[in-house]
Amino acid sequence: MTDLSDSAKLLIDDKEINLDVYTGVEGERSIDITSLYKDHGLTTYDPSLGNTAICRSSITYIDGERGVLRYRGIPIEQFDRPCPNFIEVAWALIFGRLPDEEELEQFREMLTENELLHEGLKNQFMTLPVDAPPMAILSAMISMMACYHKEFLLLEDEKILMGAAARLISKVRTIAAFTYRRAAGLPFIYPHPGLRYCANFLHMMFSLPYRQFEVSEEMEDALNLLLILHADHEQNCSASAVRVVCSAQANLFASCSAGVNALWGPLHGGANVKVMEMLDGIYRGGYKPEECIEAAKDHNNPFRLFGFGHRVYRNYDPRAKILKTACDRLFAKMKKADPLLDIARKLEELALKDPYFVDRKLYPNVDFYSGILFRAMGIPTNMFTVMFAMGRLPGWIAQWKEQHFADGAKIIRPRQLYVGNPKSNYLEMEKR
């Protein structure tokens, strides 16, 4: 519950304006400025919305100062245990609480029933260039799902929403695996109804006709964990994109497709590709991690330490902490080593004692170690952000649902501070 707990006073032009202050369940306070323009002709200026709460939400809680992340109240660390279950987490994010056995089984069955692509959709997929960026393919395919599942364009009932969610979560996995297979020139491997979500994905990625890929327990667990850790992150760039599109009463497919496009950017989910390219470049180029840290600090140098820094975390991203340990666990079990992991560890060690990073509170974020795990599974770098999207989809659906059904929800339509030309006249071409 959010409480109207206090009030704030704003002094402007010798006028005192009283504003309500709300307090969230964890004590965070937010000044209500919704009537500022209507009553006083004033807007607030916050270009990257870093200081603006755009909604009330009960899905995910982050305390960036303390490095806390919780899904539906459950600390993220509690999902790092043997046999974590991505589908259970997806259900909890979308429907508000952990499912009971029957609910989970029913949802699993829905995922299995909907794992194939409509042949028409598959034909559309085949028309896309083989070497198209996988995120462009994913966004196009999710958008196109609206053409093949028109029964889900109106979602006013929770049961119908569950059907749409199951289709999206299940089919995105098939689309991702097919994208990889087609680009690699390999025959499609259809989903196996007897396999769980993550094992089924790895089967579609790596089995061959008549040669079933043996999914090891450690790989399945690592993938489950990765998807869970990516599942939601409150009002990040892609979740906000989903909400903005949803607020125009656009359908779930259109909104999630927008989420994919936002996630693609290198400052958001695309950072996991950039991290891998950076680590690989350091390794192949024989650069010293110390040189890279110096380059990252130099504002005249375009080099950035990808996988470091976060708008909200001013502390270690708890997901990165879990992933770092998961890397150690997986490599020990696989009796393997990866020189890129050594480079990542060294970069982190140097950065965490360097005043530039310390003063700016820049710590590893989720993308710093995730790629090393994806790579250990044999997933190619250009598919990393698609993997992020697979994990984030339940979060987008949950954010869409909350936005769509919010009491008094309005279209999200920010304002601007106009700094262009004052009124001026159109000039004929010859007078310009």
Residues that are catalytic: 310, 367
x/- mask, ligand CMC, residues 97-126, rule CB under 6 A, reads ------------------------------
Task: Order the strands of the 3-12 sheet from edge to edge.
Answer: 3-12, 15-23, 29-31
Phi then psi dihedrals of residue 250, to 5 deg = -75, 160
Exposure pattern of 32-47 as b/e (b: 16+ CB <10 Å)?
ebeebeeeeeeeeeee
CB of 203 to ligand CMC, least distance (A): 28
CB of 310 to ligand CMC, least distance (A): 5
Contact 7, 29 (CB under 8 A): no
Minimum CB distance to ligand CMC smaller for 271 or for 279: 271
Q: Which residue is nearest to ligand CMC (CB)?
A: 309
Residue whose token pair is 């667990």: 221
Strands 15-23 and 29-31: antiparallel
Q: Footprint of ligand CMC on residues 300-329 (CB under 6 A)?
A: 304-311
Distance CA(394)–CA(384), nearest Å, equals 17
Contact 37, 56 (CB under 8 A): no
Q: Count Cα atoms within 13 angstroms, Cβ side, for 322.
A: 23
Q: Footprint of ligand CMC on residues 246-305 (CB under 6 A)?
A: 267-269, 271, 296, 304-305
x/- mask, ligand CMC, residues 336-375, rule CB under 6 A, reads ------------------------x-x--xxx--------
Q: Which of 85, 139, 235, 236 binds ligand CMC (CB under 6 A)?
A: 236
Minimum CB distance to ligand CMC smaller for 90 or for 296: 296
Q: Is 96 helix (H, G, I), strand (E, B) or coil?
A: coil
Going by the DSSP 8-state scheme, the letter that residue 312 receives in this structure is S
Please report, for the chain, how many H helices and E strands are present, in that order.
17, 6
In sign, the C-alpha dihedral spanning 325, 331, 332, 338 is: negative
Minimum CB distance to ligand CMC smaller for 88 or for 367: 367
Beta-carbon count within 10 A of 55 CB: 17
**Which tokens go with 17?**
């304006």
CB of 51 to ligand CMC, least distance (A): 11
Minimum CB distance to ligand CMC smaller for 153 or for 267: 267
CB of 132 to ligand CMC, least distance (A): 22
Distance CA(247)–CA(239), nearest Å, equals 12
Percentages helix, strand, coil for the chain (3-state, rounded to 5) are 55, 10, 40
Minimum CB distance to ligand CMC smaller for 219 or for 305: 305
Minimum CB distance to ligand CMC smaller for 310 or for 404: 310
CB of 396 to ligand CMC, least distance (A): 13
Distance CA(118)–CA(4), nearest Å, equals 49
CB of 305 to ligand CMC, least distance (A): 4
CB of 357 to ligand CMC, least distance (A): 8
Residue 132 in the binding site for ligand CMC (CB under 6 A) = no
Phi then psi dihedrals of residue 56, to 5 deg = -100, 135
- The residue count for binding ligand CMC (CB under 6 A) is 19
Minimum CB distance to ligand CMC smaller for 29 or for 360: 360
Residues that bind ligand CMC (CB under 6 A): 236, 267-269, 271, 296, 304-311, 360, 362, 365-367
